[in-house]
Structure 1
Amino acid sequence: MSGGASDNVLSLTTDELKEKIAEEVGRAIEVSLPRFVERMQNTLLSTMGERIGELREDLTSDRGKAKEKKGCSYNKFMACKPPVFNGEVDPIACQRWISDIEGVFERTHCDESDFVAYGTGQLRGQTKDWWDNLRNERGVETIRAMTWEAFKVPFLKHHSPKAVINKIKEEFMQLRQKGETVDKITGMFMDKLKFCDDLVKTEEQKIYYYHTMLRAEYREFMTPSHYESLTDIINAAREREIELKRQVERGERRALDENPSPTKKPKVAESSKKGSAKGGSPSCKTCGRIHKGECYFKNKPCVACGKIGHGVANCPDKVTVCYKCYQPGHKKSECPELVGNKESAGSRDETPKAKARSFQITAAEAKMEPDVVTGNTSEASGSQAGADARQKGKL
């Protein structure tokens, strides 16, 4: 029996042996696979649960940190270079500082509870003294609980009084463009307009007051009803300003004084006076004459030097010739011959000075002359005695 079994085993081929092993391994895997899958599922579930718990803890801590970091730090606030207020009693400067500091609050996402603390840190000079005094009056706890809107009430009352605001309103109504540029006068207009809400309520009124403020050179080419907004009429004024500058460069208009003095009258040149008498056109820089439009001699050669770009009247190489002696270098009025003749004629015309003369008469002759005034009796007798003595001496 044993010999026969061994012979059967030996008689198996290699392929049959491989097939037999594969069957046995498959049966073993089928038996152990459910246990393996179950073990893997348990391991994955436990790992995922632990990881989810860690993520929840991280999220909770991040939210807590985010709540703690709400707003911005003082260093971040100062990094934006907030403006400083020195305490000017000027409503325009005061409103500008408030607007700028609130812009920094918005950009840095600053918490509202820090507005007063951060904002008052930018006060300097007299306004810093005012704030210290207010803080001592109301107490530290009241100041800490103060909101930004509550801070602006006493701040504006002190630095923007009603009397100054009323003065700004008067200046707005009387504002007129003199020698300022459009941008400069527009800036003045906008600064004062902030305090005239009760006077200027609509866009049409803004356009009307802006048009009234401009110079006549601007108003004559601009109609307020043609503009829908204040920006439109401002841009139109800028375009008109550019055109006026071009006219000055072309010589069609005299340049205006940008800083006129209220006490001194502007000096008008000789050529501009002549031009105003003939229609307001200045003298041409090319030919020296008064005309409108492009100069006829612009491309003509100069008769004196042959160059282009100027006339004989403005020729730099022009030689002055005297019409008396026909010598170059001086005019007829400066001719040496005429000057010499005038001096000689003046010397001949001088009359000799009359010499001093004296007249002597006697007292008797003096009595006979009606034009002689005599003194008292003593003086007359003295003069008579003197006259008699002189008469005896002659005899």
Structure 2
Amino acid sequence: MNAKPTSFDDTGGVISLTQWFEKIESIFEICSCSEANKVKFAACTFTNRAMTWWNSRVKSLTQPVANAIGWESLKELMLPEYCPRGEMQKLEHELWNLKIKGSDIVAYTSRFEDLALLCPGMVTPESKKIERYSWGLTPPTQGNVLATRQITFDSAKCLV
């Protein structure tokens, strides 16, 4: 807890949850947190409604079973609880229709990366991510990205 992890309280929707996942995973890495301790550590950061939600899981499963579910399983349990399907559909729609505004490639790329993180099914595998990214670019730039047949998203975004 000396790493001062961000608490999670169920406010802010999918973006807040995703940022919390990223922050907690960063702390796991820095602290060399074992897989067996990740859920226990994460649960210590829950507050308000999230704590109530977790405590109800613990009561139905028992503490040892709840702590043993694994980090990826905890994330899978949290997603439907804190990311309503309607909110996810709005983000997917935004990603599908995302276009560059004017010549602000930095803003476009930043928003694309945020949405890609939130909607991984729409940009997996990497080739699909590059294709989706290029669709929002202006036609000449789009053609350049597609013609070079980049293998990674990072290499594709460096072209623009």
Same fold (TM over 0.5): yes
Q: Which of the two has greater helix per residue?
A: 2
- Separation in structure 2 between the aligned mates of residue 180 and residue 136 of structure 1, nearest angstrom: 54
Give the 3 Å change call, closer, same or farther, for CA 180–160 of structure 1 in structure 2: farther
Residue in 1 that maps onto 2:5: 82
Residue in 1 that maps onto 2:17: 94
For these two proteins, the number of residue pairs brought into alignment is 157
- Separation in structure 2 between the aligned mates of residue 232 and residue 113 of structure 1, nearest angstrom: 36
From 122, 140, 156, give the equivalent of 1:220: 140
- Separation in structure 2 between the aligned mates of residue 160 and residue 180 of structure 1, nearest angstrom: 32
* SS of equivalent residue, structure 2 residue 6: coil
Deviation at 1:173, TM superposition (A): 0.7
Q: TM-score, normalised by structure 1?
A: 0.35
Give the 3 Å change call, closer, same or farther, for CA 203–119 of structure 1 in structure 2: closer
Work out which of the two has the higher radius of gyration on C-alpha atoms and give 1 or 2: 1
Aligned pair 1:233/2:139, yes or no?
Answer: no
Partner letter of residue 226 of structure 1? T
* SS of equivalent residue, structure 1 residue 208: helix
From 9, 27, 34, give the equivalent of 1:104: 27
* SS of equivalent residue, structure 1 residue 79: coil
Aligned pair 1:147/2:70, yes or no?
Answer: yes
Give the 3 Å change call, closer, same or farther, for CA 225–117 of structure 1 in structure 2: same
Deviation at 1:227, TM superposition (A): 4.8
- Separation in structure 2 between the aligned mates of residue 205 and residue 140 of structure 1, nearest angstrom: 41
Deviation at 1:207, TM superposition (A): 2.8
After superposition, the C-alpha distances for 1:240-271 in whole angstroms (9 at most, x for unaligned) are xxxxxxxxxxxxxxxxxxxxxxxxxxxxxxxx
Aligned pair 1:176/2:99, yes or no?
Answer: yes
- Separation in structure 2 between the aligned mates of residue 201 and residue 80 of structure 1, nearest angstrom: 32
Give the 3 Å change call, closer, same or farther, for CA 201–108 of structure 1 in structure 2: closer
Give the 3 Å change call, closer, same or farther, for CA 122–209 of structure 1 in structure 2: same
CA RMSD, Structure 1 to Structure 2 (Å): 2.8
Partner letter of residue 213 of structure 1? G
Aligned-residue identity in percent = 23
Partner letter of residue 40 of structure 2? A
Asked if 1 retains the 8 angstrom alpha-carbon contact of 2:39 and 2:68, the reply is no
Give the 3 Å change call, closer, same or farther, for CA 166–233 of structure 1 in structure 2: same
- Separation in structure 1 between the aligned mates of residue 58 and residue 141 of structure 2, nearest angstrom: 57
Give the 3 Å change call, closer, same or farther, for CA 200–114 of structure 1 in structure 2: closer
The residue correspondences of 1:29-178 to structure 2 (distance < 5 A) are 78-88=1-11, 90-178=13-101
From 107, 114, 119, give the equivalent of 1:191: 114
Q: TM-score, normalised by structure 2?
A: 0.76
Asked which structure has the greater RCO (Cα within 8 Å, sep 6+), the reply is 2
- Separation in structure 1 between the aligned mates of residue 94 and residue 44 of structure 2, nearest angstrom: 33
- Separation in structure 2 between the aligned mates of residue 167 and residue 80 of structure 1, nearest angstrom: 34
- Separation in structure 1 between the aligned mates of residue 30 and residue 56 of structure 2, nearest angstrom: 30
Question: Which has the larger displacement, 114-123 or 219-228?
Answer: 219-228
Give the 3 Å change call, closer, same or farther, for CA 182–124 of structure 1 in structure 2: farther
Give the 3 Å change call, closer, same or farther, for CA 187–137 of structure 1 in structure 2: same
Asked if 2 retains the 8 angstrom alpha-carbon contact of 1:82 and 1:122, the reply is yes
Asked if 2 retains the 8 angstrom alpha-carbon contact of 1:85 and 1:127, the reply is yes
- Separation in structure 1 between the aligned mates of residue 72 and residue 124 of structure 2, nearest angstrom: 25
Deviation at 1:144, TM superposition (A): 4.4
Deviation at 1:172, TM superposition (A): 0.8
